[in-house]
Amino acid sequence: MATWNSRGLRGSTLEELVNRTNEQYREKGLALIQKIPTPITPVKMDKDSRHITLAYFDQRSTVDYIGAVQGIPVCFDAKECCAHTFPLANIHPHQVAFMKDFEKQGGIAFFLIFFSSRDLFYYLPFRELLVFWQRMEEGGRKSFREDELRQEYYLPVKSGILVPYLEGIQKDLQLRD
């Protein structure tokens, strides 16, 4: 079984916060966002408890969340970072390809990054990620620093909303015009 510091549970607190936020947004009629489960194939099962003890991933996961906000298709991935530098190795090429195609279809794609050392959430628009991604592909830095991020995309603390990412979407839409 996974323990609190195992690789398998990294980001589970962030995931729980986002899931609860999604419920709040759904209850208020603001958005309908669902967590996309990662398909697995069980290899070993504990016969007594009927728990999966060993499994492998069937296919690569694309994004963590997908849905609609006020009629706009939205997809995003949630990442946690404990340092002031975010490694691009935490983002996979198939995720970038999916998000690129998603935006070509008129949707909004983004990354929700939780800087745990500062207890800050950041909304990273896909187009902003592409700047860092292209720099990496051209032989540059394989990460980005917090001080390279646009201040307007830090998510404000809001009473009642755990992870107010709709604020980021609203800012994103304003800056696209």
Q: Which residues contribute to the annotated binding site?
A: 62, 64, 77, 95
Which of 69, 71, 88, 95 is closest to 148 using CA atoms?
88
How far is it, in rounded angstroms, from Cα 6 to Cα 14?
15
The binding site for Mg(2+) consists of 62, 64, 77, 95
Contact between 81 and 99 under an 8 Å Cβ cutoff? The reply is: no
Which of 50-61 are b and which e, b meaning 16 or more Cβ less than 10 Å from the residue's Cβ?
eeeeeeeeeeeb
How far is it, in rounded angstroms, from Cα 94 to Cα 143?
18
Both tokens of 173, joined, read: 């839409």
